[in-house]
Amino acid sequence: SQELEQSPQSLIVQEGKNLTINCTSSKTLYGLYWYKQKYGEGLIFLMMLQKGGEEKSHEKITAKLDEKKQQSSLHITASQPSHAGIYLCGADGQAGTALIFGKGTTLSVSS
Amino acid sequence: ETGVTQTPRHLVMGMTNKKSLKCEQHLGHNAMYWYKQSAKKPLELMFVYSLEERVENNSVPSRFSPECPNSSHLFLHLHTLQPEDSALYLCASSQEGAGLNEKLFFGSGTQLSVL
């Protein structure tokens, strides 16, 4: 079965610093989703990537899909306290099954 | 307001109790999902319903019983749970159901504690 590995597991950065979170799949990625979660709450959709080399941005968050490496990265520029939370990557399972997810990366931003 | 509402937000129950989790989506979607989120584990897919029919069931213990009376409502009936069932239970919906490129919309979850 397909698995998603996220790194790092947790991250503490100073406000204003840049950071990158990675998501690596054990199998070919057909669609890769990034979600953000506040502790104990639901997931909020950030971005979806489908094609190799595709890159999308929303405010200060940029995500890229490298299809050859079966990997996606999420980059935050000039981090702010509002960026703190858990970032999860999700991928389409095989044969049209529901999304599977990584364990998440917990981001803390110190002011 | 995400369009997917879960109640209750928090639930504490004993191992002999019977309780139900409720999920309602106001997005006109055809598919609904139950996921379980435990500490330090990936989200675990439990059940998927598409047009009120169960299309996926990932070897979930029978003490969890889903019900989907219509495409807007999803329940998870709980009975004789174990302490290891304590987790955040998340409901989600999508436009069609379990196909490629199906963005999921999540509720805020029910934090369940089993004593």
**pLDDT, tens only, A75-96:** 999 999 999 999 999 998 665 5
Chain B (50-69) residues lying within 8 Å, Cβ to Cβ, of chain A: 56
Q: What is the pLDDT of residue A69?
A: 67
Within 8 A of B92 by CB-CB distance, chain A residues are: 43
Within 8 A of A36 by CB-CB distance, chain B residues are: none
Distance, in angstroms, between A30 CA and closest chain B CA? 8
Query: How confident is the model over A55-69, as a mean pLDDT?
Result: 90
Average pLDDT taken over every residue of chain A: 91
Size of interface A-B (CB pairs under 8 A): 66
Report the distance separating Cα B103 and Cα B107, nearest Å.
Answer: 13
Residue B10 at interface with chain A, using a CB cutoff of 8 Å: no
Position A34 pLDDT exceeds 90: yes
Distance, in angstroms, between A86 CA and closest chain B CA? 12
> Within chain B, which residues score under 50 in pLDDT?
none
Tell me the pLDDT band of A56, cut-offs 50, 70 and 90: very high
Nearest chain A alpha carbon to B4: A42
Q: For every residue of chain B, which 3-state class applies, written as one string?
A: CCCEEEECCEEEECCCCEEEEEEEECCCCCEEEEEEECCCCCCEEEEEEECCEEEEECCCCCCEEEEEEECCEEEEEEECCCHHHCEEEEEEEECCCCCCCCCCEECCCEEEEEC
Q: What is the pLDDT of residue B100?
A: 62
Percent of chain B with pLDDT over 90: 74
